[in-house]
Structure 1
């Protein structure tokens, strides 16, 4: 599966225990997403368009209205790096 550089960055953060927080407006529409690392830092390259691509491909998912996390197919799509071991 072809995964862009920005998608790889987000998937690496999620594979290390990060999460994507999503914010909705009063009508229930998605207006903002924030990718937060395990240490609490925010990843600026995670945009709404990138989030929608990852969700459409099934690489991330939310359970019970919680934050979005990486799925098994997302773990298979991410390329290994020395800091992900």
Structure 2
């Protein structure tokens, strides 16, 4: 499966324990998606387009209004890479 570089970065951060918090408007439309690493840093590679692609492919999921986390399909899709800080 073809996954872009930014999608791969976001999935890798989520696989390590990160999460995605979304900001919605009054009509429940998503305005902003912030990817936060397990250390509390924001990942700039996570845009609305990347978020929508990951959600459409069912690589991320939210349970009961909680922040978005990686799914089992997302873990299978992510390639191993060295996390460079």
TM > 0.5 fold call: yes
Equivalent position SS for 1:54? helix
Equivalent position SS for 2:6? helix
TM-score, with length taken from structure 2: 0.94
What CA distance in whole angstroms lies between the structure 2 residues aligned with 1:24 and 1:32?
Answer: 7
For structure 1, which runs of at least 5 residues remain unmatched after alignment? none
Residue in 2 that maps onto 1:38 = 38
TM-score, with length taken from structure 1: 0.94
Structure 1 window deviating more from structure 2 (73-82 vs 36-45): it is 73-82
Q: Shift of residue 82 of structure 1?
A: 3.8
How many pairs does the alignment contain? Answer: 83
Residue in 2 that maps onto 1:57 = 57
What CA distance in whole angstroms lies between the structure 2 residues aligned with 1:2 and 1:82?
Answer: 19
- Over aligned residue pairs, what C-alpha RMSD do you find? 0.8
For structure 2, which runs of at least 5 residues remain unmatched after alignment? none
Q: Shift of residue 81 of structure 1?
A: 1.9
